[in-house]
Structure 1
Amino acid sequence: KKSARQGPREMHDAVCSECGADCQVPFKPSGDKPVLCRDCFSASRG
C-alpha cells in the first residue's frame, strides 16, 4: 500500500449524482456510491 503523501490531494473527475455537474473529488469514485458536487454535498448536510 502507498503511504500517505504530503502536498495537494490527488483529485479525480466525477459527475454529481444529484445535479449532473462535472466536479472533482479527493477520492477515486468507485461507482457504487453516489458522488455529490460541493454545492449538493453542502445542501445535503443542511
Structure 2
Amino acid sequence: MEGFRGEFREMHEAVCSECGNMTKVPFKPDGIRPVYCKDCYKKRRARKY
C-alpha cells in the first residue's frame, strides 16, 4: 500500500474486532487495542460525530 510521501507501507493481517472478518492494516496490531475493517471503522466513526 502506498502511504504518505509515496512510500510503501507493510500491511499486516488482523481480525476485525466488530464483525470478525479478516482485514489488512498498515500497522502491527498489538492485541490490546481493537482493530476494525474499513466498513466497521466507517460505521464507528459516523457514530462519534
TM-score, normalised to structure 2's length?
0.78
For structure 2, the 5+ residue unaligned runs are 1-5
| Match in the other structure for 2:20 | 20
**Taking CA–CA contacts closer than 8 Å with sequence separation of 6 or more, which of the two structures ends up with the larger relative contact order?**
1
Backbone CA RMSD of aligned residues: 1.0
Larger helix proportion of the pair: 2
Instruction: Please list every run of at least 4 consecutive aligned residues from structure 1 whose deviation after the TM superposition is greater than 2 angstroms.
Output: none
How many residues in Structure 1 have an aligned counterpart in Structure 2?
A: 41
TM-score, normalised to structure 1's length?
0.83
Write the distance in 2 (CA, Å) between the matches of 1:10 and 1:38.
17
**Same amino acid, percent of matched pairs:** 56
